Structure 1
Amino acid sequence: MPRYEFKEGSSNKFWEITKDETKVTTRWGRIGTEGQEKVQTFKFTYEANTAYDKLVLEKEKKGYTRMKPEDTGPKPKSNPELEAAILRAPESPDGYLVYGDWLQSQGDPRGEFIALQHAQLQATGAEATALKRKVANVLKKHEGFLVGTALASSLKDKTLSVEWHLGFIRSARLAVGDYDEHPELELDETLKLLLKHPSARFLQELVIGLADNDGENHYGNLIRHIAKNAPKTLQKVFLGDYVFPDDTEISWTDVGSVTPLCEALPQLRSLRLRGGGVSLGKIDLPELREFILESGGLGRPSVKAINAAKWPKLERLEVWFGSENYGAGGSEKDLQNILDAKDLPELKHLGLCNAEFTAQLCVLLPKSRVLKQLETLDLSKGTMTDADAAVLAANADAFKHLKRLDVTRNLLTTKGTKLIAKLCPDVAHGNQRRDRSDGEDGERYVAVGE
């Protein structure tokens, strides 16, 4: 239950509020007492939401400050030397098992948790099922110790979900709930607590869904928290795990500057971004294998930053460029390093998607150096027409080594799809859109703009 306090002069008061469907419950009184409780029941959920917001606003205007939940209880044991062994090889079970033995000797319940999870990974059938129940029981029994009371509230209201591996949180997803939900912690508070919690000291994957459900879906503040507090084991980051346009339009999202993330986490293996307002400075990620940027309007500075990036181990690159009407800039001329495969010896998948300059790419790709080393090529969501398909077909030999070519959601007719249907063993060409170039404005549109 969110708690507010007011301390001024002789006043030393608290006020708490919670909502459950159509019921709003408040509790208030002097700090240190049980206080009084009042329950209001409304006919409709939206009436309860309105009442909740109004009550909170009134208390804030009176000077009440929202308090952050604090974890209580014993602190987990820590052995820096054994933790360092895990940090050197976070994917190997050996370090966890040695650490688990030490924790059990110290009476730390995480030791038992590690042992049970490791046994579960080795087991099959009925034994695996039984161990799964034991793991769940240990987690439930020691939730306050393994998660903490504050994060437990975020798990309960589902703004946080986690995957446990050998006693620690291996992956986590955070997202705001529906607009009518009122979690105890704000999303940035949950993120800070998670990244500083002992259970997340070996976190490997972090996913952020909607950061706000009022139309202001910004990630800049969350990026700064990640850059400042994320453990060095973090390998995968996905900002923007939402469904568009159902949850929000892709252009309504402001990813912000990703530079702090790149500078703080050079060990990243996968970085995925979805939304607009993306700012990419110098990119130097020596361990990165996958970079995906899905945008309805990617500015030219970001396009040039991708072209100049240093990621020698990159295997998968996918970029959605978007519409000029929504801020897209750059062109095929700003991708020369990529087309030349400069410092991209491991690249096997290339996606140049949602581009207004697909026609130019169809001319350049058959003669490019990068095409020769690719296994899959994605030109989906762009502005490819039958004339562009004919250019690809005229250079069929350049594409025959590919395992897959994706041209879905372009502007092809049956004639165009037939031209390229056999360029390689797997050509995806479904869900074509209508060519609107014969309209009044004479423009072709990418699949994802707003």
Structure 2
Amino acid sequence: MLRRFEFKDARSYKFWEITVEGTSFTVRYGKVGTDGSTSTKSYPTEEKAQAEAEKKIKSKTKKGYAEVATSSAAASKKSSKADAAAEWAVRADKLQAAGDPWGQRIAIFDQWEAAKGAGKRKWKKQLKELDEEHGEHFYGAALQELMADKLFEKVGRFEWKHGYVVRARIGAPEYDHEGPKPEAVLDALLQSPAATYLEDLILGLPAFDDTNYSDMITSLSKAKLEHLEKLFIGEFSYPDDTEISWVHVGDIAKAVKGAPNLRTLRVRGGGVSMKSFEHDKLQRLEVESGGLPSAGLIGFAKAKLPELTHVSLWLGRDNYGGSTNISDLDALWKTKAMPKLVHLGLQNSEMQDAIASALAQAPLLKQLSSVDMSMGTMRAEGAQALIDNAKNFEHLKSLKLDDNFIPYNLHATMKKALGSMLHIGRQESPEDWGDGELYYYTSVGE
């Protein structure tokens, strides 16, 4: 979402804009009436990107910048909202004329959403009466039965619009939960008429003592989710809920087959594979893992994703399932199946030196505008490869190398060779266990 701020005094009239997209944000700034300058920053998680964006906004408002909205944007938003409301009213009328209770549900739900005070209570009562009469028609028998359980809302949290579920978060709430199982809730929801217009689906842990998503992915593979745009498999905190490498995800290509309009796929956990991965609309892919199997990386390298613009893969450590090697990326370096890819994140990796050397010579590099190799074990070898091939990277807007092991004595040389695109940030120091060896670890492992 774009937010614009302006500052005006006797000497200047400036603007500052920020757009947050996934794990990065883009800032545009300058004098009002000019195109200004643009910069992009990336972060390990969406939460971190949003938090840093809010800090920037707070800093600007303290300096006197005020948020503004263009009249064209406001008018467009108002017009779009009115058109959507009219479309749903027509849909409700047609369904009612055909004798389908969904028409009445849509009409009553929209009245309830618009009402206030006593009016809201009136429409809520009518919705309840309608559900009592036609609940199975609206929800399906399985979901209706699960929703009757007093512990249901601890497992499934739904957001509704026009009487349909548009956003859902499903997951085990605690270790000793005795209510409905998340797998059963997901399966029932995906078969329910109420999920016809589902747009955003978030899957927490299936259980705290059995962190395997195989049943959930099987349910997803059988579903028809025409309106789903966002899917997050693995929404949990690590290490508080569980260790990231203890979670088995499975084949994410299988999970998205029934969602032809999916735009964003985010995955957290281990055991991630991508068999015959093809999708016509996917734009963003983020895989956070303490150890990505070789099959997962090869699967992505060979994927056919014509609309993909942003990918972030955490490769992880070999002792936590990260069995990748540099040859797994051979197909990616020369791929023609991701023509719109502009951001490549190969992060949290033990082979960052080899990745830096290979990427420097890869045909893929020419189409990229930003690269993220943070959180890994890059040392002098990888840093020198970037210095020696600096001209191949000069078109990039951002090259992120934070949280590696790049020796301090190379920082100045790197900054001189690579310029303002370089984000080197804080670097780690190897562990010394007193056995004569130094140990280098990725930021996220177990």
| Equivalent pair of 2:374/2:403 in contact (CA under 8 Å) | yes
CA distance in 2, matches of 1:330, 1:132: 59
Kept in 1: contact 2:211–2:248 (CA 8 A): yes
**1:142 has 2:136 as partner:** no
Q: Which residue of 2 aligns with 1:229?
A: 223
TM-aligned CA distance change 1:391 to 1:436, over 3 Å: farther
Query: SS of the residue aligned with 2:323?
Result: coil
Residue in structure 2 matched with residue 324 of structure 1 by the alignment: 318
Give the secondary-structure state (helix, strand or coil) at the position aligned to 1:162.
strand
Gap runs ≥5 in structure 2: 1-82
Report the Cα distance in structure 2 between the residues aligned to 1:416 and 1:244, rounded to whole angstroms.
33
Within 5 A, what are the aligned runs for 1:83-98? 95-98=87-90
In 2: Cα distance, 1:135 partner to 1:431 partner:
54
Tell me whether 1:301 sits opposite 2:295 in the alignment: yes
Which amino acid letter does the alignment assign opposite residue 97 of structure 1? A
Instruction: Return the match for 2:204 from 192, 201, 209.
Output: 209
Larger radius of gyration: 1
Deviations 1:122-178 (A, max 9, x none): xxxxxxxx6699779746762545664632647863211222234321121111111
**CA displacement 1:192-216 (0-9 Å, x = unmatched):** 22112222111122110111112x2
Relative to structure 1, is the Cα distance of residues 257 and 387 closer, same or farther in structure 2, using a 3 angstrom cutoff?
A: closer
Q: Is the partner of 1:337 in helix, strand or coil?
A: helix
Gaps of 5+ in 1: 1-90, 121-129
Matching residue of 2:249: 255
Q: Which residue of the partner structure matches residue 172 of structure 2? A: 176
Letter in 2 for 1:112: A
1:344 match? 338
Deviation at 1:447, TM superposition (A): 1.6
Correspondence 1:179-194 to 2 at 5 A: 179-183=175-179, 185-194=180-189
Q: State the alpha-carbon separation in 2 of the partners of residues 254 and 325 from structure 1.
A: 15
Q: Retained in 1: the 8 A contact 2:309–2:343?
A: yes
1:409 shift after superposition: 1.9
Question: Equivalent residue of 2:272, what SS?
Answer: strand
1:271 Cα shift?
2.2
SS in 1 for 2:227: coil
Secondary structure in 2 matching 1:112: helix
Structure 1 distance, partners of 2:241, 2:252, is 23
Q: Deviations over 1:53-100 (max 9, x none)?
A: xxxxxxxxxxxxxxxxxxxxxxxxxxxxxxxxxxxxxx9666533212
Alpha-carbon offset, residue 221 of structure 1: 0.6
The amino acid across from 1:447 in the alignment is S
Within the candidate set 190, 195, 201, 1:200 is matched to 195
Shift of 1:262: 4.2
Instruction: Report the Cα offset of residue 297 of structure 1.
Output: 1.6
In the alignment, which of 367, 371, 374 is matched to residue 361 of structure 2? 367
State whether structure 2 residue 146 is matched by structure 1 residue 165.
no
1:337-372: CA deviation from partner (whole Å, max 9, x where unpaired): 322242221001111111111001111222322222
Q: Does 2:95 correspond to 1:110?
A: no
- Aligned-pair CA distance for 1:429: 3.3
Letter in 2 for 1:318: S
In 2, Cα distance between the equivalents of 1:178 and 1:410? Answer: 35
TM-score (norm: length of structure 2): 0.69
Distance 2:107 2:360 in 1: 58
- Identity among equivalent positions (%) equals 32
Q: Is the 8 A contact 2:312 2:344 kept in 1?
A: yes
What TM-score, normalized by structure 1, do the two folds share? 0.68
**Aligned pair in 2 of structure 1 residues 152, 353: CA closer, same or farther (>3 Å)?**
farther
Residue identity matched to 1:151:
M
Find the aligned partners of 1:429 and 1:110 in 2 and give their Cα distance.
55
Contact 2:273 2:299 in 1 (8 A): no
Separation of aligned partners in 2, 1:199 and 1:113? 15
Q: Provide the residue aligned with 1:99 in structure 2.
A: 91
- Give the secondary structure class of the aligned counterpart of 2:281: coil
Number of aligned residues: 348
Matched, 1:333 2:324: no
Q: Is the 8 A contact 1:103 1:111 kept in 2?
A: no
Distance 1:113 1:292, change over 3 A: farther
Pair 217,416 (structure 1): closer, same or farther in 2 beyond 3 Å: farther
Query: How far apart, CA to CA, are the structure 2 residues paired with 1:135 and 1:225?
Result: 36
